[in-house]
Amino acid sequence: MDPSPDQNVRIPWWVTALDVLSAVVAGLLLRSVVSDDYQIRFTETLEISLRSSTRVAIWLAALLGLRHFLWRAVPWHARVGGTLRALVRSDALRAAWGPFIVSRTVVLSAGFVAVNTIGFVTKGRPAWDLGSSVLELFERWDAWWYFRIARQGYLYRSFFDPVQESEVAFFPALPLLMRAGRVVLDVNLWLAGIIIVTLAFVWGLTYVYRLARLDVPPAEARASVMFLAFYPFAVCYSAVLTESLFLLAAAGAFFHFRRGELWKAGLFGFFIGLLRPNGFQLAVPLGLMALLPFARHRGWIPRTEQGPVTNVRWPDLLVQLAIAALPILGMLLYAEHLDRLTGNPFAFVEAQQAWGRKPLGILDILNDRWALIRTEGWSGYVDLHMAEILDGAAALLGLAAIWPVTRRFGAAYGVFVAMTVLPPIISLGALSLGRFTAPLFPIFLWLGTSVPSERRPYLLAVFAAGQALIAVLFYTWRPPY
Shortest CA distance to 247 belongs to which of 178, 201, 210? 201
Sign, CA torsion 223/228/230/232: positive
pLDDT of residue 356: 58
> Bridge-partner residues for 41, per DSSP?
47
Q: How far apart are CA 466 and CA 232, in angstroms?
A: 5
pLDDT of residue 396: 85
Angle 318-323-327 from CA coordinates, rounded to 5°: 135
Q: How far apart are the first and last CA of the chain?
A: 38
> For residues 81-93, b (16+ Cβ closer than 10 Å) or e, as one string?
ebbeeeeeeeebb
Average pLDDT, 10 consecutive residues per value, the chain (481 residues): 50 80 78 60 54 75 84 77 73 90 92 84 60 81 88 73 74 91 82 93 95 93 95 92 94 93 92 91 92 74 56 77 93 88 79 61 61 64 64 83 92 92 66 82 94 92 92 83 68
> Bridge-partner residues for 47, per DSSP?
41
Q: How far apart are CA 430 and CA 309, in angstroms?
A: 39
pLDDT of residue 6: 44
Q: How far apart are CA 464 and CA 457, in angstroms?
A: 10
pLDDT of residue 268: 95
Task: Name the residue type at position 218.
Answer: P
pLDDT of residue 5: 43
pLDDT digits (tens, 9 = 90+) for 344-403: 888 777 777 655 555 555 566 666 666 666 676 656 556 555 667 777 788 888 889 999
pLDDT of residue 1: 41
With 0-12 / 13-18 / 19 or more C-beta atoms within 10 angstroms meaning exposed / middle / buried, residue 265 is buried
pLDDT digits (tens, 9 = 90+) for 9-54: 677 877 888 888 888 778 777 766 666 555 555 455 555 555 667 7
Quote the pTM value.
0.83
Q: How far apart are CA 226 and CA 209, in angstroms?
A: 10
Q: How far apart are CA 228 and CA 222, in angstroms?
A: 10
Contacts of 387 by beta carbon, 8 Å cutoff, 6+ apart: 473, 478, 479, 480
Please, how many CA atoms are within 13 Å of residue 131, restricted to the half-sphere of its CB? 3
Contacts of 10 by beta carbon, 8 Å cutoff, 6+ apart: none
pLDDT of residue 9: 67
pLDDT of residue 370: 63
Report the Cα 102 to chain-centroid distance in Å.
20
Q: How far apart are CA 448 and CA 220, in angstroms?
A: 5
Q: How far apart are CA 65 and CA 158, in angstroms?
A: 52
Report the Cα 247 to chain-centroid distance in Å.
3
pLDDT of residue 124: 54
